[in-house]
Amino acid sequence: MMVATEYVEVEPKRSEVDALAGPTLLEFGSPWCGWCRRAQPLVAEALAAHADVRHIKIADASGRRLGRSFGVKLWPTLVFLRDGKEAARLVRPQRADEIARALAAVDPR
């Protein structure tokens, strides 16, 4: 799979996310968020070694249900899922290696 470059405006339903098979990275943020923009090369670098991980960038905001259901408070928040279940989470990651470790929790190589 590919690194997502655009945030989806229409978020999936929580039931759809819970039903996803395999490894998934949910990235909650906003295109105008400086923290989110800073994290993009780190996410891309870490995902380069995990081609099987589905990457979904979700434009989050107050009142958005999916982000609230995951307890998102700061951007970017990365939620790592394996078969729809949360296995790891990072808030405002600073390094690609910490993202890579979380990816290994859902996509062991």
Residue 67 contacts residue 28 (beta carbons within 8 Å): yes
pTM above 0.85, yes or no: yes
Average pLDDT over residues 7-13: 90
pLDDT at res. 5: 87
Q: Is the dihedral of CA 53, 59, 77, 32 positive or negative?
A: positive
pLDDT at 26 over 70: yes
All structural domains of the chain: 14-93 (3.40.30.10)
Average pLDDT over residues 10-32: 96
Residue 28 — very low, low, confident or very high, per pLDDT cuts 50/70/90? very high
pLDDT at res. 60: 95
pLDDT at res. 106: 96
pLDDT at 99 over 80: yes
Nearest to 11 by CA among 49, 68, 50: 68
